[in-house]
């Protein structure tokens, strides 16, 4: 009896659903009703109403004739970083360049963005060679070269104006304003970039400084002219707080010394975190080291010799110089 009641209840429920939502029920489905719709004839609009007034909510400014000089805007943020990188405009004689404390593969997209945001036309951009050429005027072009710097993870950027025969036709002062604008752009941009250009990865390998052993002596090899190498070593001695007693540029020799107040066996010029040695080295009575800067073809070799004959002391000094090169 119980089973019979359940069967009757199920039949009633199914019948009720069909009665409510079936094709002939009280609430039939309407999802296919659109198939039976017909298109209505077009509306007959009086001719006087044909002209519809439209408001231009997004007007385009009229293009002015001629070129208007504008400052290069800050670039769009492609990457983000919380670090800080130093950007400097450096000069040595007639040579001027931009120094940036970041890898060339990161400096490359920023440099390219500078020209893309400027009024100049980019003629070519070779990421592997690190060369960008832009049309400057009717008779000349600007060529930017992005290279790895002396310091680890640093970049040097050079700019020159060339004529149609690829000959340098300008002095450094004439392109200094453009270099300064690039410096400002990089300084405002480099902290917001932490990414890298895959196409410019090869630029990271072409370092200008390497340290190795030659004839049982540790040496630093710089891919620089003698003038730049001499200036870089001089700057490194100052940055490393290594006091120079004397120097002979013609012979390529620096004479430096050190003395420790507390521990004669410890190099005071290392001065890691020592505030009491802010003035640098304490001079001894005679030079303790001789640093030599010698040309070797298109490169420059830097060596150090301790007057007490200690190879270990000389290598420690040379390592410190290598850390301070920039």
- In the predicted model, is pLDDT for residue 240 greater than 90? no
Assign 160 to helix, strand or coil: strand
pLDDT of amino acid 24:
64
- In the predicted model, is pLDDT for residue 263 greater than 80? no
Q: Which two tokens stand for residue 73?
A: 């805007």
Query: What structural domains and CATH numbers belong to the chain?
Result: 87-204 (3.30.310.220), 208-324 (3.30.310.170)
CA angle 123–125–126, rounded 5-degree value: 140
Q: Could you tell me what percent of the chain has a pLDDT over 90? A: 38
* Lowest model confidence (mean pLDDT) among 31-40, 113-122, 206-215: 31-40
pLDDT of amino acid 72:
58
pLDDT of amino acid 264:
44
For the whole model, what pTM was predicted? 0.65
pLDDT of amino acid 35:
73
Model pLDDT for residues 128-163, shown as the tens digit of each residue = 999 999 998 888 899 999 999 999 889 999 999 988
Whether 259 and 281 have beta carbons less than 8 Å apart is answered as yes
Q: What is the mean pLDDT of residues 311-317?
A: 87
Q: For tokens 């003395």, name the residue.
A: 259
Instruction: Name the H helices within 38-162.
Output: 104-117
- In the predicted model, is pLDDT for residue 262 greater than 70? no
Q: Which two tokens stand for residue 306?
A: 């301790």
| Strand-pair partners of 131 | 126, 145
pLDDT of amino acid 276:
40
- In the predicted model, is pLDDT for residue 92 greater than 80? yes
Long-range contacts of the stretch 86-90 (C-beta < 8 A, 24+): 87/183, 87/186, 87/187, 87/190, 88/183, 89/179, 89/180, 89/183
Q: For all residues of the chain together, what is the average pLDDT?
A: 78
Model pLDDT for residues 13-66, shown as the tens digit of each residue = 555 555 556 566 666 777 777 777 777 887 777 777 665 566 666 666 665 555
Q: Could you tell me what percent of the chain has a pLDDT over 70? A: 71
pLDDT of amino acid 303:
94
């Amino acid at each position: 009896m119980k089973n019979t009641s359940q069967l009757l209840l199920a039949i009633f429920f199914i019948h009720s659903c069909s009665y409510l939502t079936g094709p002939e029920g009280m609430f039939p489905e309407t999802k296919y009703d659109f198939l039976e719709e017909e298109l209505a004839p077009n509306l007959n609009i009086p001719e006087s109403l044909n002209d519809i007034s439209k408001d231009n909510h997004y007007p385009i400014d009229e293009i002015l004739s001629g070129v208007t000089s504008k400052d290069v805007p800050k670039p769009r943020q492609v990457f983000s970083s919380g670090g800080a990188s130093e950007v400097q405009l450096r000069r040595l004689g007639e040579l001027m360049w931009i120094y940036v404390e970041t890898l060339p593969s990161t400096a490359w997209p920023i440099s390219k963005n500078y020209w893309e945001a400027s009024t100049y036309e980019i003629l070519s951009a070779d990421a592997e060679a690190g060369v960008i050429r832009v049309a400057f005027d009717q008779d000349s072009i600007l060529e930017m070269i992005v290279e790895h710097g002396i310091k680890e993870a640093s970049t040097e950027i050079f700019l020159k104006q060339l004529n149609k025969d690829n000959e340098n036709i300008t002095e450094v002062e004439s392109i200094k304003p453009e270099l300064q604008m690039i410096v400002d752009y990089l300084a405002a941009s480099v902290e917001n970039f932490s990414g890298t250009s895959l196409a410019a990865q090869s630029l990271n390998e072409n370092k200008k400084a390497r340290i190795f052993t030659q004839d049982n002596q540790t040496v630093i090899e710089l891919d620089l002219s003698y003038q730049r190498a001499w200036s870089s070593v001089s700057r490194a001695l100052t940055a490393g707080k290594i006091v120079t007693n004397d120097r002979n540029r013609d012979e390529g020799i620096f004479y430096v010394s050190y003395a420790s107040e507390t521990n004669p066996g410890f190099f005071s010029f290392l001065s890691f975190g020592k505030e009491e040695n802010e003035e640098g080295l304490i001079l001894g009575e005679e030079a303790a080291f001789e640093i030599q800067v010698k040309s070797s073809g298109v490169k420059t070799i830097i060596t150090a010799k301790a007057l007490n004959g200690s190879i270990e002391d000389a290598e420690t000094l040379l390592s410190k110089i290598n850390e301070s090169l920039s």
